[in-house]
């Protein structure tokens, strides 16, 4: 049997795509492998969001070139495929810089992989078109149903934040139909999935064709999915503040299956910087949104993304970000140093922030957010929470799962509880993980 190795970088959309590429190759008779040395097809599913992410691809391709040559000496062929957002952004450059690459395929074209692989035996091929047809209509059924699975419902972005490559690498916003999403979710649930995270670059801009022929927004989609037997939990990510409408906020109060966690990137707490970033909202709008969300769902765990060192960011601007974080209080967050990306408006600016200032600001912001995360995690010690058990843990006799607030818990419990919701008493909180034991005297709340 032929074997395929897929390595994915970047966001959850890429992780989803990597799984679907494995499905496409699976339908062609390839078995998935996690040992790159034995793979007949190697796919790097790349990310272009920051310079570091994009650079990784070329160092990885250097190693693959050696591997390909070694395998050739023993008479084995290796097809090397670059997929994802670097493929979309730098297709021709990849072929020029990396002679070992056989196929370059963008995020909207990977349903064509079998044909591209076949064609690559006579010449190197690039497919980075944004095809009119919908790749989802051409993908085979999903082969695996993890206890917690991702499901892409929306792709692309029309927002054009000044720093961001996504509108260029993923194309315009497109939503899948409720029927298609429901069919995929039902199949996942039949296979054992108990939690689905609906994903999209701007998932709360979702507006797909509804079952009744009109457009459905995210709350309607979630209400529909919540009726699927076996599906216990729903989540969605990533959202944009400007698409966080009253209906979606109410959904956090009304849909029991929707978990109390919201990732809502704000990027900066300075109005001046938000404006320069083309985010199209100010810091107070974000504060008011959070207040409304907390009113609808008081225990909601909040998460965000921050960029420090955007061109022109002053100490005062950064102080505004620190103030916003101190006021709101986040359960978790991602922090990034601004990275200029070719083709984006911000990359043209001449008022770059010095690297030393970026590092200092990143460290200060991370320290504040880490302290918030510690305090948040510690707040659960002694309480009993519902945990959806996903898989075996680090040690034998341990399993791992997630709380409603998306915290990871290591539990001393047998593997038989995998795939079920169990009440867990939290006994200890680490930096990234909680530790607990099954609370035999308690029942799950759901």
Q: Which positions touch ligand SF4 (CB under 6 A)?
A: 157, 159-161, 164, 166-167, 201-202, 240
Please give the distance of CA 438 from its chain centroid, rounded to a whole number.
30
Distance from C-alpha of 16 to C-alpha of 18, rounded to nearest angstrom: 5
- Site map 183..222 versus ligand F3S, x via CB under 6 A: ------------------x---------------------
Distance from C-alpha of 231 to C-alpha of 85, rounded to nearest angstrom: 31
Strand residue runs (E) in 190-239:
195-199, 207-209, 215-217, 233-237
> Do residues 358 and 308 lie in contact, with contact meaning Cβ atoms separated by under 8 Å?
yes
369 sits near ligand SAH (criterion: CB under 6 A): no
- Site map 48..67 versus ligand SAH, x via CB under 6 A: -xx-----------------
Distance from C-alpha of 40 to C-alpha of 69, rounded to nearest angstrom: 13
Burial of 101 by CB count in 10 Å (0-12 exposed, 13-18 middle, 19+ buried)? buried
> Interface residues for ligand SAH in 173-232 (CB under 6 A)?
201-202
CB neighbours (10 Å) of residue 337? 18
CB of 48 to ligand SAH, least distance (A): 9
Only segment of 32-40, 161-169, 295-303, 405-413 that touches ligand SAH (CB under 6 A): 161-169
47 sits near ligand F3S (criterion: CB under 6 A): yes
Residue 298 per-residue DSSP state = T
> Interface residues for ligand F3S in 68-87 (CB under 6 A)?
84-85
CB of 289 to ligand SF4, least distance (A): 15
**For residue 412, what are the CA distances in angstroms to 385, 399, 404, 427, 438?**
15, 7, 19, 11, 8
> Do residues 343 and 168 lie in contact, with contact meaning Cβ atoms separated by under 8 Å?
yes
Only segment of 27-35, 250-258, 332-340, 435-443 that touches ligand SAH (CB under 6 A): 332-340
Only segment of 162-170, 249-257, 398-406, 421-429 that touches ligand SAH (CB under 6 A): 162-170
Only segment of 210-218, 283-291, 338-346, 422-430 that touches ligand SAH (CB under 6 A): 338-346
Distance from C-alpha of 368 to C-alpha of 370, rounded to nearest angstrom: 5
Relative orientation angle of helices 283-296 and 246-254, to the nearest 10 degrees: 30
Distance from C-alpha of 59 to C-alpha of 86, rounded to nearest angstrom: 13
The one of ligand F3S, ligand SAH, ligand SF4, none whose footprint includes residue 13, by CB under 5 to 8 A per kind, is ligand F3S
Rounded to the nearest 10°, the torsion over CA 412, 416, 419, 425 is -30
Spatial CA neighbour of 256 closest among 215, 306, 222: 222
Q: Considering only residues 49, 87, 388, 424, which one is a binding residue for ligand F3S as defined by CB under 6 A? A: 49
Distance from C-alpha of 69 to C-alpha of 33, rounded to nearest angstrom: 20
CB of 2 to ligand SAH, least distance (A): 34
Rounded to the nearest 10°, the torsion over CA 370, 371, 372, 375 is 120
The one of ligand SF4, ligand SAH, ligand F3S, none whose footprint includes residue 336, by CB under 5 to 8 A per kind, is ligand SAH
CB of 341 to ligand SAH, least distance (A): 5
At a CB cut-off of 8 Å and minimum separation 6, what does 376 contact?
301, 329, 330, 331, 332
265 sits near ligand SAH (criterion: CB under 6 A): yes
- Site map 144..173 versus ligand F3S, x via CB under 6 A: ---------------------xx--xx---
Structure-token pair, residue 206:
């979702």
The one of ligand F3S, ligand SF4, ligand SAH, none whose footprint includes residue 220, by CB under 5 to 8 A per kind, is none
Q: Considering only residues 68, 194, 341, 425, which one is a binding residue for ligand SAH as defined by CB under 6 A? A: 341
The one of ligand F3S, ligand SAH, ligand SF4, none whose footprint includes residue 167, by CB under 5 to 8 A per kind, is ligand SF4
Distance from C-alpha of 440 to C-alpha of 426, rounded to nearest angstrom: 13
The one of ligand F3S, ligand SAH, ligand SF4, none whose footprint includes residue 10, by CB under 5 to 8 A per kind, is ligand F3S
Number of residues that bind ligand SAH (CB under 6 A): 17
Contacts with ligand F3S by CB under 6 A lie at: 10-11, 13-14, 47-49, 84-85, 165-166, 169-170, 201
Contacts with ligand SAH by CB under 6 A lie at: 49-50, 163-164, 166, 201-202, 238, 240, 265, 267, 305, 307, 336, 338-339, 341
């Amino acid at each position: 049997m032929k074997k395929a190795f897929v390595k994915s970088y970047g966001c959850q959309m890429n992780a989803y795509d990597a799984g679907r590429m494995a499905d496409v190759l699976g339908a062609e008779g390839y078995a998935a492998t996690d040992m790159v040395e034995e793979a007949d097809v190697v796919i790097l599913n790349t990310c272009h969001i920051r310079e570091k992410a994009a650079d990784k691809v070329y160092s990885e391709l250097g190693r693959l070139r050696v591997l390909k040559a070694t395998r050739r000496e023993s008479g084995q062929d290796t097809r090397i495929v670059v997929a994802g957002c670097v493929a979309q952004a730098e297709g021709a450059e990849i072929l020029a810089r990396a002679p070992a690459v056989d196929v370059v395929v963008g995020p909207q074209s990977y349903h064509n992989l079998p044909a591209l692989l076949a064609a690559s035996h006579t010449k190197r091929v690039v497919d980075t078109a944004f095809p009119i047809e919908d790749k989802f209509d051409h993908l085979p059924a999903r082969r695996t149903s993890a206890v917690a699975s991702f499901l892409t419902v929306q792709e692309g972005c029309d927002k054009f934040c000044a720093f961001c490559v996504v509108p260029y690498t993923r194309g315009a916003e497109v939503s899948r139909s409720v029927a298609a999403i429901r069919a995929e979710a039902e199949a996942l649930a039949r296979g054992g999935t108990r939690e689905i995270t609906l994903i999209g670059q701007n998932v709360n801009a979702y507006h797909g064709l509804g079952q009744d022929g009109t457009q459905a927004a995210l709350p309607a989609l979630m209400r529909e999915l919540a009726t699927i037997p076996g599906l216990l939990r729903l989540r969605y990510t990533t959202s944009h503040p400007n698409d966080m409408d009253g209906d979606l906020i109410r959904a956090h109060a009304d849909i029991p299956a929707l978990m109390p966690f919201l990732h809502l990137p704000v990027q900066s707490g300075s109005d001046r910087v938000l404006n320069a970033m083309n985010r199209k909202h100010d810091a107070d709008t974000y504060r008011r949104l959070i207040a409304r969300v907390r009113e609808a769902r008081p225990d909601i765990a909040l998460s965000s993304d921050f960029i420090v060192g955007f061109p022109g960011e002053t100490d005062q601007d950064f102080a505004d970000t620190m103030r916003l974080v101190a006021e709101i209080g986040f359960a978790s967050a991602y922090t990034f140093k601004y990275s200029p990306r070719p083709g984006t408006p911000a990359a043209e600016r001449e008022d770059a922030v010095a690297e030393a200032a970026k590092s200092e600001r990143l460290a200060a912001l991370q320290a504040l957010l880490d302290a918030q995360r510690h305090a948040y995690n510690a707040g659960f010690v002694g309480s009993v929470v519902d945990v959806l058990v996903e898989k075996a843990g680090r040690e034998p006799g341990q399993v791992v799962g997630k709380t409603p607030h998306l915290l990871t818990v290591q539990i001393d419990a047998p593997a038989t509880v995998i795939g079920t919701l169990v009440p867990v008493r939290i006994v200890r909180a680490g930096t990234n993980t909680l530790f607990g034991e099954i609370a035999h005297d308690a029942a799950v709340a759901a």
